[in-house]
């Protein structure tokens, strides 16, 4: 029988990227084959994100562009999944009448059945009910075959209700996967040649807390550290309030845990942090950073910052700048506050003008550029270990990989190095990457 083709486009975070890999696994089992050209596809899935207004607008623009394709190929099934689908449900079909399928964040495992139903009935389907447990948590991402790095979801959902965030409403309450299943999946990935794994969750630090399985996140890291074949362990993302001393000590007591943590701070003012319902003060955050640096002096720390939260004054904003100067992050993702319907913060109104937000964002980003380049320059002359991921985007003669501290390094090399850990001497530093040359010398920095 001729295979049908599926094309998936993903918007948003790594969780969504990984969910798309799971969708691919499920549909491959149902006889579909992945394709890179949406014009050849029999099934197109748009995996959506609604964390910021901009991400949602991109999804609507893309769906608008697909109208013509759907007219040319009436048999094409067009579906949307992810947070925006969960949020909008059947309203999505009212807004985009040529859509065939809307499925929510707890319904991924039902996808083959939903697609078959549409093939038979030709009628649109909306499936967004939360389930008692998220069945897709245990679906492995087979598309990791041949990859050096792979993601593993260890938990989904969130209980924190930060006042600006839609995730708890769209992904449901926290649910952790079983300790054994995760360890088995890591072993199977190692068997297929994966060297680096990234453990994913909305707040991995609270792994095991909601449906206790007798193990916390630090226990999980220690277990994975013992698995042969895996060389590097990373995780994202972490809520500062749940970063325990036990977890901090994993950075010095486990060999494979990479020296990098993404620890979203969001703002430097205690008044704003309280309004955001973040449950920590800047003093608490700074103490955690100090402990991390005491345990692991080379650790790279990245963060998220929101500017223009409702009611943010010049003084509050200055506290963010002061905090950045004190901590000197290795990198940040920074955003203008974007009001999300249904959240507590939306009740406060979007009170900071777009002009003020833009100027604050510009100031935050230019300060961070100074810090990033300063950190990168400090690497020049060091010998670092790179896990080679592939060819550089900019030159066919260059290979690319990352340091354990998650910095991109490009260097002259060949394809045979892909998947290997090599030593590179850093020769140049730029804002987004480092440049180096292969060496036999021993590593001096991670
Ligand atoms: S911790 Fe806060 S920001 Fe992160 S997903 Fe949960 S509610 Fe959203």
Of ligand 1's listed atoms, the one at least distance from the Cα of 277 is: 2
Looking at the CA of residue 165, tell me the nearest atom of ligand 1: 8
Cβ atoms within 10 Å of 143's Cβ, excluding its own = 17
Query: For atom 8 of ligand 1, which residue has the closest CA?
Result: 165
Q: What is the DSSP letter of 411?
A: E
- Over range 71-92, report the average pLDDT: 94
**Model pLDDT for residues 180-211, shown as the tens digit of each residue:** 999 999 999 999 999 999 999 999 999 999 87
H or E stretch at 408: strand 408-412
Give residue 336 CA to ligand 1 midpoint distance, Å.
Answer: 16
Q: State residue 139's pLDDT score.
A: 82
Residue 1's pLDDT is 66
Q: How far is the CA of 278 from the centre of ligand 1 (A)?
A: 9
- Comparing 49-63, 261-275, 430-444, which segment has the lowest mean pLDDT? 49-63
Q: Binning pLDDT at 50, 70 and 90, where does residue 145 land?
A: low
Of the chain, the end-to-end C-alpha distance in Å amounts to: 51
Q: pTM of the predicted model, to two decimals?
A: 0.92
What is the mean pLDDT of the segment spanning 282-303? 98
Question: What pLDDT, on the 0 to 100 scale, is given for residue 133?
Answer: 81
Quick one: pLDDT band at residue 409, thresholds 50, 70, 90? Answer: very high
What average pLDDT score do residues 268-294 get? 98
Of 50, 159, 207, 239, the residue with max ligand 1 atoms within 8 A of its CB, to mutate for a pocket test, comes to 239
Q: Kindly give the distance from the C-alpha atom of residue 392 to the centroid of ligand 1, in angstroms, as a whole number.
A: 34
Residue of 15, 16, 87, 162 to mutate, ligand 1, most atoms within 8 A of C-beta = 162
- By most ligand atoms within 8 Å of CB, the mutation choice from 157, 203, 335, 346 for ligand 1 is 203
Is the per-residue pLDDT at 144 higher than 60?
A: no
Q: How many distinct helices (H) and strands (E) make up the chain? A: 13, 19
Q: What is the pLDDT of residue 424?
A: 98
Residue nearest to atom 1 of ligand 1 (CA): 160
Please give the average per-residue pLDDT across 14-19, as a whole number.
Answer: 89
Average pLDDT (412-429) is 96
Task: Determine the pLDDT at residue 52.
Answer: 79
- The DSSP line for 218-280 is HHHHHHHHT-TT--EEEEE---GGG--HHHHHHHHH-SSB-SEEE---B-S-HHHHHHTT---
Among residues 357, 406, 367, the alpha carbon closest in space to that of 54 is found at: 357
Residue 159 has pLDDT above 90, yes or no: yes
For residue 166, which atom of ligand 1 is closest to its CA? 8
pLDDT at 384: 97
Tens of pLDDT, residue by residue over 426-445, are: 999 999 999 999 999 999 98
Is the CB–ligand 1 distance for residue 165 below 6 Å? yes
Cβ of residue 158 lying under 6 Å from some atom of ligand 1: yes
Confidence of residue 413 (pLDDT cuts 50, 70, 90): very high
Give mean pLDDT, residues 115-142. Answer: 89
Q: How far apart are CA 385 and CA 231, in angstroms?
A: 12
Mean pLDDT of the 45-73 span:
89
Is the minimum distance from the CB of 239 to ligand 1 under 6 angstroms? yes
- What's the whole-number mean pLDDT along residues 411-439? 96
**Range list of H helices, 73-105:** 82-88, 90-95
Residue position matching structure tokens 């697909």? 66
The arithmetic mean of pLDDT across residues 353-379, rounded, is 98
Q: What is the mean pLDDT of residues 112-123?
A: 96
Q: Choose one of 105, 155, 168, 173 to mutate for the ligand 1 pocket test, by most ligand atoms within 8 angstroms of C-beta.
A: 168
Q: Which residue puts its alpha carbon closest to atom 2 of ligand 1?
A: 162
Mean pLDDT of the region 35-45: 95
Q: In terms of Cα–Cα distance, which of 328, 318, 428 is closest to 369?
A: 328
Ligand 1 geometric centre to CA of 164 (Å): 9
Q: Is the pLDDT of residue 143 over 60?
A: no
| Per-residue pLDDT band at 249 (split at 50, 70, 90) | very high
- How far does residue 284's CA lie from ligand 1's centre (Å)? 18
Question: Could you tell me what percent of the chain has a pLDDT over 70?
Answer: 99
- Per-residue pLDDT averaged across 92-108, rounded? 95
Angle of CA points 56, 57, 59, to nearest 5°: 65
Cβ–ligand 1 distance for 168 under 6 Å, the answer yes
161 lines ligand 1 (CB under 6 A): yes
Give the angle 249-254-258 at the CA atoms, nearest 5°: 90
Long-range Cβ contact pairs of 311-315 (< 8 A, separation 24 or more): 311/272, 311/275, 311/348, 311/351, 311/352, 312/267, 312/269, 312/272, 312/337, 312/352, 312/360, 315/269
- Taking the C-alpha atoms of residue 429 and residue 409, their distance in angstroms, rounded to an integer, is 9
pLDDT at residue number 213: 77
């Amino acid at each position: 029988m001729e295979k049908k083709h599926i094309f998936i486009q993903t918007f948003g975070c790594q969780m969504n990227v990984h969910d798309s890999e799971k969708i691919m696994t499920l549909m491959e089992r149902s006889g579909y084959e992945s394709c890179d050209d949406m014009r050849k596809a029999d099934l197109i899935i748009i995996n959506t994100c609604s964390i910021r207004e901009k991400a949602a607008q991109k999804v609507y623009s893309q769906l608008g562009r697909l109208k013509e394709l759907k007219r040319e190929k009436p048999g094409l099934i067009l579906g949307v999944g992810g947070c925006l689908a969960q949020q909008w449900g059947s309203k999505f079909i009212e807004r985009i009448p040529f859509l065939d399928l809307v499925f929510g964040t707890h319904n991924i495992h039902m996808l083959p059945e939903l697609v078959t139903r549409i093939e038979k009935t030709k009628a649109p389907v909306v499936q967004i009910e939360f389930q008692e447990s998220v069945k897709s948590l245990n679906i492995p991402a087979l598309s990791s075959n041949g990859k050096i790095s792979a993601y593993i979801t260890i938990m989904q959902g969130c209980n924190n209700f930060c006042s600006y965030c839609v995730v708890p409403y769209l992904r449901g309450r926290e649910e952790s996967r079983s300790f054994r299943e995760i360890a088995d999946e890591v072993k199977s990935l190692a068997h297929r040649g994966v060297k680096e794994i990234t453990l994913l969750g909305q707040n991995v630090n609270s792994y095991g807390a909601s449906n206790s399985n007798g193990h916390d996140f630090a226990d999980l890291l220690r277990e994975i550290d013992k698995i042969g074949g895996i060389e590097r362990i990373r995780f994202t993302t972490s809520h500062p309030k749940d970063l325990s001393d036990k977890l901090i000590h994993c950075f010095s007591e486990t060999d494979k845990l990479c020296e990098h943590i993404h620890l979203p701070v969001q703002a430097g003012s205690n008044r704003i942090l309280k309004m955001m319902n973040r449950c920590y003060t800047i003093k608490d955050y700074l103490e955690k950073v100090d402990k991390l640096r005491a345990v692991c002096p080379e650790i790279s720390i990245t963060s998220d910052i929101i500017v223009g939260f409702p009611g943010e004054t010049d003084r509050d904003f200055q506290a963010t700048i002061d905090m950045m100067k004190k901590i000197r992050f290795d990198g940040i993702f920074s955003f203008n506050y974007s009001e999300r319907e249904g959240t507590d913060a939306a009740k406060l109104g979007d009170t900071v003008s777009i002009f003020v937000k833009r100027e604050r964002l510009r100031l935050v980003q230019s300060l961070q550029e100074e810090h990033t380049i300063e950190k990168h320059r400090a690497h020049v002359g060091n010998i670092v270990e790179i896990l080679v991921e592939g060819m550089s985007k900019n030159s066919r003669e260059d290979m690319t990989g990352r340091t354990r501290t998650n910095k991109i390094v490009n260097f002259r090399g060949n394809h045979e190095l892909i998947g290997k850990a090599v030593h590179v001497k850093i020769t140049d530093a730029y804002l987004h990457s480092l440049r180096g040359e292969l060496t036999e010398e021993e590593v001096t920095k991670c």
